[in-house]
Structure 1
Amino acid sequence: MKKLIIVFVFLGGIFQVNAQSDIELISQTLMDYIEGSTEGQPERLKTAFHPDLNLYSIGKSGEVSVWSGKAYIADTKEGKPTGEAGKIISIDFEHNAAVAKVEISHPKSKSTYVDYFMLLKTEGKWIIIHKMYTKRTSNKI
């Protein structure tokens, strides 16, 4: 019986490490996005984004606005920080799929944006495949 208990505890520990490892890997991908965009590091953005990623929002007239990830990266100027600050609000994942929520604050305009991401894990790496964003209109986190 002791051997069974030891094996059970050991296997439970492995599960916990794998779950934590995925959270850490997802967080790193999100930080590549946050710091890549706010610190003027387009190469970091490239590592976080799938090449076919698009960014979606609602335009001024209420229409769906689509911005290509390639254009977003091209608009990020190497070595030119934006002065924005970002933080991860939440991460939820199952196996090789994840969703995440990030907040980006613009101190000059006093605006805060909320980004919603879909990520997939491929070849041991999490990559952002989809981004939607909106301007925060409440204090709700």
Structure 2
Amino acid sequence: MKTPANKVGVEEEKHLILLTLNDYLQGRPVKDIERLRAAFHPDGYIRTIIAGKLVQWTLPQYLDLVAQATLQACQPELLSYAWDGDTGSAHVQLTFDTFRFIDRFNLVKLDGKWWIVDKISYREELQR
């Protein structure tokens, strides 16, 4: 991982990236649409596989789906993140009672803010 040369720069980038990731991780479980919107670039896409087919949504379509979803207890977790210059990636998961979403994000830094520009998601059913 290429990062800024000094420790202050590294810590600042970590902080900025975590602000974005936390908007997703804290916003999604409680359906806080404005917090989710703050995490994603307005031109971002969300993709997943459903019944063997690639399905994708624009950010407004995705936010509408989240708003309509049933509110459930959820354990959000940041698994990893990395960046090089003004691009990065993250791996997170949201664990609900009977399933979990495993998400991978592509991130970009524009005008001093990190944004999720692409989310791919896998839904894993849990055996309880």
TM-score in terms of structure 2 length: 0.84
Sequence identity, in percent? 26
Question: 1:40·1:82 contact (CA, 8 Å) conserved in 2?
Answer: no
- Residue of structure 2 aligned with 1:129, choices 102, 117, 120: 117
Aligned residues: CA RMSD: 2.1
The separation in 2 between residues aligned to 1:66 and 1:75, in whole angstroms, is 12
For structure 1, the 5+ residue unaligned runs are 1-13
Does residue 25 (structure 1) correspond to residue 16 (structure 2)? The answer is yes
The separation in 1 between residues aligned to 2:121 and 2:55, in whole angstroms, is 10
Does residue 43 (structure 1) correspond to residue 43 (structure 2)? The answer is no
The separation in 2 between residues aligned to 1:27 and 1:137, in whole angstroms, is 28
TM-score in terms of structure 1 length: 0.77
CA shift, 1:81, in A, is 4.6
Structure whose residues are more often helix by fraction: 1
The separation in 2 between residues aligned to 1:125 and 1:35, in whole angstroms, is 18
Structure of greater Rg: 1
What is residue 85 of structure 2 aligned with on the other side?
A: 95
For structure 2, the 5+ residue unaligned runs are none
More deviation in 91-100 or 33-42?
Answer: 33-42
The separation in 2 between residues aligned to 1:132 and 1:64, in whole angstroms, is 10
Deviations 1:86-127 (A, max 9, x none): 1110001011100000011012x1x12210000101111101
Indicate the structure whose relative CO is greater, using CA pairs within 8 Å and at least 6 residues apart.
2
- Residue of structure 1 aligned with 2:72, choices 63, 78, 82: 82
